[in-house]
Structure 1
Amino acid sequence: MIDFTLPEIRRLLIKLALRVVGTTDHIWSWSRFRRRRQHQARLSHYKRRGYQLA
């Protein structure tokens, strides 16, 4: 997974502080899903362009 980005941290803090939608588990699950998908997209991007992946 990729590291937390500043917008992601900001979003998590707002959601956890206000708890506008869902439970705490839902908020953290969404964050893990989002970072996992970003990682997969990054790998796919580099693979498509022929870069060597470690």
Structure 2
Amino acid sequence: MATRTPVECPLCREVLTGRSLEEHLVDGHTKRKLAKFVVSETEAMNDGKTS
């Protein structure tokens, strides 16, 4: 029987149980924190630091 890896929030690393990542991001993080995360990930990709 296959098991699913628990979903983890990429911002706070909380393992999510019983609700979706989208719900957690909307309810648990500010717009500013989400924007900073997106900017840092985009800059890292553009700098070639991630694949």
Instruction: Tell me which interval the TM-score lies in, with the shorter structure as reference length.
Output: 0.3 to 0.5
Q: What TM-score results when the alignment is normalised by the length of structure 1?
A: 0.40
Structure holding more helix per residue: 1
Normalised by the length of structure 2, the TM-score is 0.42
**Higher relative contact order structure (alpha carbons within 8 Å, sequence separation ≥ 6):** 1
